[in-house]
Amino acid sequence: MESKDLQIQKSRSSLVFAKINQFKAVFQMKNPMAGFTLVELLVVMTIIAILAAVGLGNYTRSLSRGRDANRRSNLKTIQNALEQYYLSKGNTYPGDATGQLLRTDSDLLNFFSEGQMPQTTDGTDYCNGNDDSNSGQSPGFVYPTGYWCCEKLEQAKGNATWSSGNEPTPSASGDYFCIYNLQ
């Protein structure tokens, strides 16, 4: 028969092994081969990439449509101010004989809510007495007797076409949005 010390030692070691097996059972997967295959992961990544591409395209289009709406709004604001100026100043617009808008005319600036004219998205002025498409500026002229001013749109269809050295031509499918004197 085994000695009492040997029996105690065996029971302790079996208790330790039992605890180790319990610990393993808690942290061990039921099926060590369970998980995602490479093909499944690639399919999920492809779906995510397609959704991201569609979302990014829509996002950039909505940004450019927003910039187009801002351009239209700015030009309409300028048109309203020019027409108010015309009516208040005895039928003359705030421009000189060369087509330059008199931007420092305080009477004109009073017609803008912020006390200054809106600017293009790149910080240049609208209606700047320029008709050169290579200048990168908004084309337009303001004379004492009339005006026209345009801005190229990114996404939306405008109300005119325009080329350097010419006045804009009204067109329902043009890529420029233009304002003209109403009087």
Per-residue pLDDT tens for 113-139? 888 888 887 777 888 777 665 566 678
With cut-offs at 50, 70 and 90, classify the pLDDT of residue 32: low
Q: Hey, what are 18's tokens?
A: 């039992």
Check residue 49 and give its pLDDT: 95
| 3-state SS assignment for residue 100 | coil
C-alpha 74/C-alpha 68 separation (Å) is: 10
Question: Quick one: which H or E segment has residue 141?
Answer: strand 140-143
Q: Which residue has the higher pLDDT, 138 or 109?
A: 109
Q: Are 149 and 126 in contact (CB under 8 A)?
A: yes
For the entire predicted model, the pTM comes to 0.69
